[in-house]
Structure 1
């Protein structure tokens, strides 16, 4: 069910679309959560952070515990979240490099010192 809610509905096969619709028809709270999730995902992909204040009020009005607490957290860091949703700048490449180095370090835990770690980081593709 989580996969049905977090993926774009157009990417689902017909059978999954029918099952998703049947479940959402039976549970209005889940249907509301699915709508809020997809509208937030659309804001992320289209970089339309100007719609954030409207989106924050929707989960609060729907009184869905998990999503409303998420919206409250977004509201507490409103300026940073709006900037993240409106600019096309991101730290993805830097985070990817940091995660790669951490993975190499974990693989070698207790096996070697800094010199070998340095060689693996510099020579790894």
Structure 2
């Protein structure tokens, strides 16, 4: 299904999608594995997002010690 979509994109007149499709074809094995595997990194992304939010809230007001304390306590 993905390979047929890539073929269809190459036949269309959409140069930006051509670049995207070319990038996908360069590492087609990784793209296919990423779509077929049952696991995801959603939980990790949630923690990273939470830490970034805490960092933004303390930007300019506190140093690393307070950020560390907020991350460990939340």
TM superposition score category, shorter chain reference: 0.7 to 0.9
How many aligned residue pairs are there?
A: 74
Once the 2 structures are TM-superposed, how far is the Cα of residue 116 of structure 1 from its aligned partner? 1.1
In structure 1, the partner of 2:66 is: 116
TM-score by length of 1: 0.54
TM-score by length of 2: 0.85
Gaps of 5+ in 1: 1-50
Residue 15 (structure 2) pairs with residue 62 (structure 1): no
Cα distance in 1 for partners of 2:37, 2:4 equals 19
User: 1:16-53: per-residue Cα shift (whole Å, max 9, x none)?
Assistant: xxxxxxxxxxxxxxxxxxxxxxxxxxxxxxxxxxx221
Cα distance in 2 for partners of 1:99, 1:120 equals 14
Q: What is the RMSD of the two structures over their aligned residues, measured on CA atoms?
A: 1.3
SS in 2 for 1:110: coil
